[in-house]
Every structure is written in structure tokens, then in C-alpha cells.
Structure 1
């Protein structure tokens, strides 16, 4: 049992089946940098409270830093028999500096050590994802300049509804991504609480200074209850949920752009560099990047469901089930980061097919609502105006023409208040200009929002 940090009371070696079944170093080795950082801070604190001498502290810190460098360089040998990344690093340290290395684990357990490393990793991941979200927002804001003045159909139920500026459409995604960033920031505050020093479940008799460790590692606070410290993974589930929401937003965007790229819509051209072809049909340019963004969202959703199921019935305090949390979180973070890295250049490099959109923009009676509100402004009740304009739309449909092409007599037959000024609100350009409310697609309102986003994303 010499390889086991817990083998003193055992008379038989671990069965190889259990050893292979229970190891986690094959996936938790990616926590090595966080484990080294946490252990360095712990060692410095132990020296500050008199558990280690300054010489012992320096030996431990130097040894840990060198081990971290070897792992980063790919020259460190991990052993499955040592179970996880934490014991691999500690055993290597002890082999190099002797019994001094055996003092490092004073005042902590693997339970609070794992939770600390995981929180540090998630915190780092949150910061990376936030940066990628910001890059994607910048790509959308850049499009507002490229597509200035362009009008596209807005849809509800995937049916043409009202006209909107393309810039207004791009900024809608900025808003969604901003809420994702806000959720990440909110999540980060709960992740950023130090569990180290609560030990196995009840604390420690060693006179440790948890605040010192928290300060060195950049934690905003300290977990206050030792039973709670290592038993819960709500911080990981919250992160997994935020990643899921990001994935859902990306999937929705990908679905819409897949439609826009079809011959039927013909609104958008993707860069060839982000498309693939067919092995049999030479004319095909398939939006595989978008389809994979949409498809990979299923992995992220599934990982969240796995984590919820994993933690739904665990008693206090630590249970080995929690070893299963990391692969799910790692995969969700990796997947979302990969999707975001792909999304930004796709958004930046796509071309809006303005001529194609403009050629069909008048289909669908996108100015009907504006005409209805023109009647409302003249004193007609909304429900009455709705019915009257509906009949006018029916008349135009039978004549196979736009509302703006109807003769004045048809408008006057619908309501006596309608005169030649009705043509001032018809057509998509006039309809867009007629909007007034804050948050609308009115060109002045959109320009204000574009300026706001440029300021936010500096």
C-alpha cells in the first residue's frame, strides 16, 4: 500500500479492477496548474503560522513550481496508481525533497483541496468564456457598420412580420450575449469562495490562516461551513447552466443563419473557409460550422442534466460520486469555447445579400402594423383598426400588390379618416422610420444603441 496516501489501516492492496475504475488522473490532470497554485499558497500560509520553517516552505514551493513546469512541458509521468492529479503532484514532491514534502498536506484534506482546485479552474474558464463572448459581441457590432441602412424582414412564427434594420437585428444578439456575460459574472462571485482549510468535513485543529490563502489566490470570500465546503457542487452546476444558456443562444443563432443561407431565403453568404462540400454533389456549399454549433449544444445540455442527476441525492458531506462532475464541466466549457471561437470570425466574414433581400422585402405586408397604428393615431380603437387593416391586406392579396400600390379609394372605403397622407407610412423604409419607442428599430434609436455598444465594448 506504499503508493496510497491512505493505506495505513489496510492489509490488502487495491484490486486492479477498482484501481482502474476509480482513477481520475486521466482527466483531472488538467487541474495541475490550479493544484500547484493552491498548494503553493497553502505552503506559504503554513510557514506564516509556524507549521513550516521558511526553508521548508521554500523547498516545497520550488519543488511545486518545477513539477508544474514539467507537466506543462509534457515531461511529467502521471501514475494511475496514485489515483488523481493531486496525489501525483504530492508524491513527486516528496520523492524530490523528502519528508518535508509530507508536511504539505497539513491542515487540509483532498476534499477541500479538490473543491479549491475546481473552483480555481472554473474561475479561469469563466474569464476565458467572457472574453470570447465579448469578441463575438464586437463582431456583431462591427456588422452594424458593414450593413448600415439595410432592412431585413423580422419574423414571428417564422412568418414575415415587420421590417427591421439589419443593425437592429445584429444588436439583438449583443443583448443576449450581454445577459450571458452578466450570468457568468454573477456565477463567478459564488465560485470565488475559498473552501481550502475546512479539511475533510469538520475543520482542523491546526492554527491555519484561511484568509491569507484566500487573499493570495484571489478569492473574494471564504466558505463559512466546513460541512458545506466540499459536499456541494452548486457552483459547478451554476456554471454548467450558464454554459448551457450560452450554447442555446449560439444554437438559435446558428439555426437562423442556416435558414438565411438557403436558396429559399438567400439572405446571407458565409465565407467559404467556414463551409464544406459534398462528396457527390459538386455544387454544394454546406454550412457545417453552423450545423455543428447547433449540434454541439446538445452535449452541453446533456452535461447539465448529468450533473443535476449526479448531485440530486447526495448526503453530507463528501461522496466519491463527485469525482464524476469534472468531465461534464470540462466538456461543456471546451465545447462552448470552441463554438465561440468559431462564431466570431463567421459573423465577421459573412456577407449580407442586400440586393436579394431588397428585391423581396415588400413581400409579406411588413408595413401593415404601421398602417394600423397610423389609424390608431387618428383616434380609431386598436381592435377596430386591426380589423380594417386586415381587410385592406386581404384586398391587396387579391390584387397581388403591395399596400402602397392600392388606390386611395380603397383606403377611404376602409375608413373615412384615411387620405393621401396614408402613403407616407407605407413601404418598409417609411415603416422603419415610423417607429418611435425606446428599443425599437427606428434608425435614430438604433444609432444610439450602436454608439452605446461601441462604448461598452471598448
Structure 2
């Protein structure tokens, strides 16, 4: 069965039929298609276009189809053109000609738009929940391991921070990611159902009823925009891409930290793999895969931007490409968030190794300069003196806090015994603005 074909004399070429078919991927919309169709039927009845008996028969038929799909009794047949055709064809099989009235006052253009919007709205909410879960894991891991560690710029040891502070940086990134998802949900939450193919319908329908039943704030203002808008897909793909960028940065750090050169963290066996030839290897493959899959989500965004950039109004078949890209990106970002929750929650944080890295990194050099500024020396001069002391320590192969007061005084007479308390790493974190790091 096809939902079109009355003006055609020749059968569709089998190659074209396969090329045109979308049911392999749009079958994921079966719940939304039944829900959208049910709302449409209720509205047709309220508008006097269907009678009560017709409405009840169609609703019962749709409900039975949904139940049978979910129980496995009815398997979605990939020989149909799309999920909409499959649902309608099975409805007609079950209730007869009354099922043919389902599509009154509706086009597949507004039908697929409302299906995809409902799916995207729910999916974005689920991703936001996964983001929240990862935030809690990061916060808990940080609070349970609030140890000193080096903070880096240019991948060079820079200043002392805590592991908790580092984890909370990602917490805050994810907080913005969550806001982007919720904002995207708010923007997309207008119903295109009732737009028809592009210019509405001559039936006296009530779009506000379907919008309300389906949980939308309102119907879209413009029919042509309603059926050809895929901004919501692009916006969510953008939000997914930014999430993946943040997860990739976190993955990169975990990969470095788990190496023998750092040994800041130890990955749990559950989220690591080994080598087929080197028995000693414990590879951080979970983090590496998240880093690698980031490009996949970026690709979905670029693909959709490229697809949409040259399409005239209104609907064009190019837009069928939206679903595969969106579904794949959704699956990837969801799996990556879940995996990262497991990686972070199970990994061991190596306190002593991080402390050693702090001590070896001259991370209190800035505080040496600050000490001299507090004694009245201009900062630029203090910066130079502190650099000279670092050079002195490098030649001696020792930490700044390990040299004597007499050595400090070689570079400035302003140094007194209190310099050692001032540059103590634990004290550094307690001073002034640094207390937010604790």
C-alpha cells in the first residue's frame, strides 16, 4: 500500500522504491505516529468531521496497533514506504474503510514534522537527565577525593588546585549543556499538526486542540515554516555536539591521567581493555571511544546543515535525511554519557601521585611573587625575582619550599621566615579567592 499514486500510470521502479523508503529508520517514530494520529482523530471528531462511532473505531484500532507493536505480536514490516504508511495500512486491515478517514485534513508533511518534534522533545529531555546523572557522578567523585593536584595551562603545570575543583569545571560545562537542551525543548515546543502539505486545509479544523493534547505550547504561526522547519533538529545536534566536545576533553584528560607518565587515576577493569599481544597493557578504551565518537556527532550536525542550506520552501524530500543523522547522534551522545558515568564512578584517584606532581611543578611560584608584592615590590619586579628562584631550584633539582631562607634572600631582602607559610600549598588554597577551590 502507498499513500499516493492515483495520478501515476507506471509502477515505481524497485530501485527507486528502496531508495525512497525510510521505514528502516523512521520506525522509531511509531509511538509518536500513533499518538499524533489519535490527537488528530479527536480533533476531527470535535470539529464535526468524524462522528463518534468513527472516532472510537479509529482510536481503538490505533491503540491495538500500538499494543501489538510493543508486545512483539506485530512486527514493523520494512517493505512499507514509511512508518506512517505501515500504521495506516494496518489500521485499514483492522477496521476497514473507516480507517481510510484517518488522514482527512492532514499531510505526511505535517504528520512527520509533529512525530519528529515529539520524539526530539522527549529525547532531549532524556539526554538532559543523563547529563544530570553525570554531573552528580563528577560532584561525588570530586567530593570523595578532594586532594591537591596540579592545574595546567599549555599542558604545563601551572597552579595548585584540587581534584574536586577540576571535576567541578566539567560539572559547570554540563550545566550549560543542560540549559541548551532545555532551551531547545522550549523553542521547538510548537505544533505543526494542521499545517497540511504547506498551506493548511479547507476543512474547518482546530489546531489548538491537537497542540494542547500533544503537550505543545501552541500551534506554529506559519504553515510553510511548520512543515519545512528542521531548526529544532539542528539546534539539538548542536547541543549534542557541544556535549560531546566536553566529554572528549574530559576523556583526553582521563587518558593522560591514567598513563604511566601521570598515574593520577586508575581506570576500573570494567571500563578498560587489554592488548592481544602485550599482556601488561590496560587501555582506557572507553574514554578513547567517547573521544572518537565525538567526530561522528559533529558529522551529523554538518550533514544536516549542508542538507538544509539550499532547500526552497516548503517541504522537500531532502529533509528525510534528518532522521538518520538525528537518531545516530542521539544514540551516540546517550551512550557516551552513560559510559562516562561508569568510567568516573569506578575509577580510583591516586592522591600521592598528584601530590608529588604538585611538589615537582613549582606551582607556588606565583605566590612567591605575590608575597613580594605584599611587601611593597612592584609585581613586574616580583615576577622576575620569582622566575630567578625557579631557575635556582631547577639547577638544584629541588622544590621552592625546600630552599633555605638564606637562599631566598639572595634574590630579595624582603623575604622573611613567613615565606614558608605563605607558599605552603594547603595554605595557598585557603587564601582569598582560592577558598572556592576547596
- TM-score class normalised by the smaller sequence: over 0.9
Check whether the contact 1:19–1:80 (CA below 8 A) recurs between aligned residues: no
Aligned to 2:21: 23
Separation in 2 of the partners of 1:377 and 1:107? 78
Aligned to 2:65: 67
Separation in 2 of the partners of 1:4 and 1:301? 35
Q: Secondary structure at the match of 2:225?
A: helix
After superposition, give the CA deviation of every residue in 1:395-418 in whole Å (9 maximum; x if it has no partner).
111121111122223333333332
Is 2:395 the partner of 1:398?
yes
Check whether the contact 2:20–2:81 (CA below 8 A) recurs between aligned residues: yes
Check whether the contact 1:268–1:352 (CA below 8 A) recurs between aligned residues: yes
Aligned to 2:323: 326
Aligned to 2:337: 340
Separation in 2 of the partners of 1:207 and 1:22? 33
Deviation at 1:81, TM superposition (A): 5.0
Aligned to 1:271: 268
Separation in 2 of the partners of 1:177 and 1:122? 19
Check whether the contact 2:429–2:437 (CA below 8 A) recurs between aligned residues: no
Residue from 215, 218, 221 that aligns with 1:218:
215
Aligned to 1:228: 225
Q: Secondary structure at the match of 2:6?
A: helix
Check whether the contact 2:149–2:357 (CA below 8 A) recurs between aligned residues: no
Structure-to-structure mapping, 1:40-439, within 5 angstroms:
40-80=38-78, 82-148=80-146, 150-434=147-431, 436-437=432-433
Deviation at 1:428, TM superposition (A): 2.2
CA RMSD of aligned residues (A): 1.4
Separation in 2 of the partners of 1:378 and 1:47? 84
Separation in 2 of the partners of 1:203 and 1:375? 75
Q: Secondary structure at the match of 1:38?
A: helix
Separation in 2 of the partners of 1:155 and 1:284? 27
Separation in 2 of the partners of 1:329 and 1:241? 11
How many pairs were matched up?
438
Deviation at 1:80, TM superposition (A): 4.6
Separation in 1 of the partners of 2:106 and 2:371? 71
Separation in 2 of the partners of 1:108 and 1:292? 43
- TM-score computed with the length of structure 2 as normaliser: 0.97
Residues 222/374 of structure 1: CA separation in 2 closer, same or farther (3 Å cut): farther
Separation in 1 of the partners of 2:73 and 2:206? 34
After superposition, give the CA deviation of every residue in 1:301-325 in whole Å (9 maximum; x if it has no partner).
1111111111111000000000011
